[in-house]
Amino acid sequence: MNKSVLIVDENLAVCIMLKSWLAKQGYQVETVSSTSDAKKKVKSQPFDLILLDVSTPNVDGLTFLSWLKRYDSDIIVIMIPTSADVESAVSSMKTGAADYLPKPFEADSLFRKIEEAFQMQELKQRKIRFANDFILPPGEEYQILLNQIDDIAENKRHQLVIGERGTGKVSTVRYIYEKSGYLNGPLVMLDTDQLNDRKYVNWQHSEAEKIPSLLMEKFNDAEGGLLHIRKVDQLDVNLQNELLNLLTKQSKDDFYTQIIMTTEKNKEELEKLLIPKLFNLLIEESIALPTLKGKKEVIDSFVIHFLHFANHNLDKQIQSIDKVIYQLMYDYAWPGNIQELKNSILQAALLTEGRHMPATIYPRMFGKNSWKQGVLISIPNPVQNLRKENYEKEKILEALRLAKGNKTMAASILNIDRKTLYNKLKLYNVNT
């Protein structure tokens, strides 16, 4: 998908010139003359880059940058001031701008700055994504799991990954994709919930006229890369047979596509849902992801990591957590596992002012009325609602509330990319 650029400059001639330059390079470009109009544009679509002139009367660069960092911190900003206003552009970089390029400048200089900014962002995001997606806590259980996953990645083997809600199935798939070293091969996901909108049809026509199933479409899209089939247990019999053919009849050439299937169902449930040949093939070498409940050292490890993640993404400086909160986390059942713990830490960080996370915020972390005679009981954690099926709008609204409106953080909580989030905001008519 082409990158989208917003130009914020009061000079119409400059806007036309920059738009012409960028459009010829394949960018999707829009222009506005003030930050008030820029805010409206940003709220309506996920821009990748903003070129911002802080020299014009209608543009308050620092205020706009501060707002943008809270609203969607993934948008890159390059300042394009007049030569006389370089000082304010440099000051803006401290607020979050990626770079600056004083006017007048040549097209090649602009393209170079843009390319460098995107490269730096990609390196930063890849590092954060890779570190955040798959974390290795202490203990033999996780070390054995990592060895298994590394072997799957190294041999590009098809695999079934079994795990309860929030145990890290998507993160495991991403780790395998990164570790497998696909240079140009894509990572494609088939969410079997989509199959409810497109039932498989057994066409009684010639092969030339046969319309491919959604499974085959996704498989073709993933050619030379990795296909993730989420909730493989929801495939009907016809699609299970298609999948079986894909798993058994592929040759490992340049067009080979690795298939990783995930499910929340246990082996006994899968045996009832899958055709025997597919079940026997998948179960033989399936891997199971651990749950979080009662694992003190593992919880500690994840808490440290997610606190660092929260500090970085929410501009916090939290250095310590009250021991009461730690004990609550050790006692809690964590039905949402790692994802629930992550969201709880993010919410707690948002509620914390200063360097210490106080015990007083625990009702907001774990849900209200969670104590009875000093004992932690069944907890209606609002974060759990993020994982319920068929309540997508409610999940999005809850994520936005937790993230205090920050689209990048909300997308992280929902485990989707920000462009998907923007599309869903439009779909459900969610005003932000």
Q: What is the pLDDT of residues 202-221, one digit of tens each?
A: 444 444 445 568 899 999 99
Q: What is the pLDDT of residues 67-108, one digit of tens each?
A: 888 888 889 999 888 776 667 666 767 677 888 888 889 999
Has residue 388 got a pLDDT over 50? no
Cα–Cα distance, 38 to 40 (Å, whole number): 5
359: three-class secondary structure by DSSP: helix
The reported pLDDT for the residue numbered 301 is 93
For residues 137 and 59, the model is more confident at 137
Q: How confident is the model at residue 137 (pLDDT cuts 50, 70, 90)?
A: confident
Q: What is the mean pLDDT of residues 354-383?
A: 59
Q: Identify the CA nearest to 263 among candidates 342, 178, 159.
A: 159
For residue 271, count other CB atoms closer than 10 A to its CB: 13
The reported pLDDT for the residue numbered 399 is 78
Cα–Cα distance, 359 to 320 (Å, whole number): 11
> Tokens representing 12?
């119409």
> Tokens representing 132?
């955040």
Q: What is the set of domains in the chain, with CATH numbers? A: 4-130 (3.40.50.2300), 134-288 (3.40.50.300), 296-427 (1.10.8.60)
Q: Identify the CA nearest to 188 among candidates 258, 102, 283, 263.
A: 258
Eight-state DSSP code of residue 102: P
Which amino acid, residue 174?
R
Q: What is the pLDDT of residues 152-184, one digit of tens each?
A: 999 999 999 999 998 999 889 988 998 887 767
Q: Identify the CA nearest to 236 among candidates 288, 281, 201, 267.
A: 201
Q: What is the mean pLDDT of residues 251-257?
A: 84
Cα–Cα distance, 277 to 230 (Å, whole number): 19
Has residue 58 got a pLDDT over 70? no
The reported pLDDT for the residue numbered 378 is 38
